[in-house]
A and B are shown apart, each in its own frame.
Chain A
Amino acid sequence: SQELEQSPQSLIVQEGKNLTINCTSSKTLYGLYWYKQKYGEGLIFLMMLQKGGEEKSHEKITAKLDEKKQQSSLHITASQPSHAGIYLCGAVLLYNAGNMLTFGGGTRLMVKP
């Protein structure tokens, strides 16, 4: 099994609906990054979380890192077609090893107008 599991793998929602994507690790997360990727393109940075219990928001997207630092969630409020894409969580899984990000398999989001 992968060290970093994302769920769901794919998601189709109606425009205006809320949704949540989860990222679960088998190890302690020493840094958690959320990125968005359009098909075949580079990664666009969304948010970085480092402290247990931390929560950050940007426009309609909120990310949280749980207290035990082994799970993160990304929540989108009132989804829009522009939110469609692949959401990737990337994590630093080794203490003091900021030189390697382990990624989940991605969540493919489609927003129906």
Chain B
Amino acid sequence: ETGVTQSPTHLIKTRGQQVTLRCSSQSGHNTVSWYQQALGQGPQFIFQYYREEENGRGNFPPRFSGLQFPNYSSELNVNALELDDSALYLCASSWTGGLYGYTFGSGTRLTVV
């Protein structure tokens, strides 16, 4: 049973650019959630995808968008990057929206300069 895999592990982008982060969910999981963790803080919920539809969103602007594919993998897209977007982005997969727990990936460290 494979866990949650995220790519890339590290990324440096320039302010104003766009970025795509990828996540492969754990085998058997149909739900993917994305979190942003700024340095020294707890993770903040961005959004969740279930059966390729967004079914929950935190307090993040529309320039944060996502996709879920038929194989339940997911992408997080961020447009018009700002310096404050620098953070660790975590992907978590689960079964039926998290009723039986969430498995987190190792994250993508995004630095915006």
CA distance A104 to B4 in the complex (A): 22
Residue A81 CB within 8 A of the other chain? no
CA distance A33 to B92 in the complex (A): 13
Q: How many residues of A contact B (CB 8 A)?
A: 25
CA distance A6 to B88 in the complex (A): 20
Asked if A45 meets B50 with Cβ closer than 8 Å, knowing A105-B41, A105-B42, the reply is no
Contact B109 A40 (CB under 8 A): yes
Contact A101 B107 (CB under 8 A): no
Q: How many residues of B contact A (CB 8 A)?
A: 31
B4-39: contact bitstring with A at CB < 8 Å (1 yes, 0 no)? 101000000000000000000000000101010000
Residue A53 CB within 8 A of the other chain? no
Q: Which of B33, B105, B106 contacts A101 (CB 8 A)?
A: B33
Residue A100 CB within 8 A of the other chain? yes
When C-beta atoms are compared, the residue in chain A nearest to B107 turns out to be A42
Task: Pick the most buried of B31, B42, B96, B109: most chain A CB atoms within 10 A of its CB.
Answer: B42
Which B residues contact A (CB, under 8 angstroms)? 4, 6, 31, 33, 35, 41-45, 48, 50, 55-56, 58, 88, 90, 92, 94, 96-99, 101-107, 109
Which A residues contact B (CB, under 8 angstroms)? 4, 6, 31, 33, 35, 40-45, 48, 88, 90, 92, 97-106
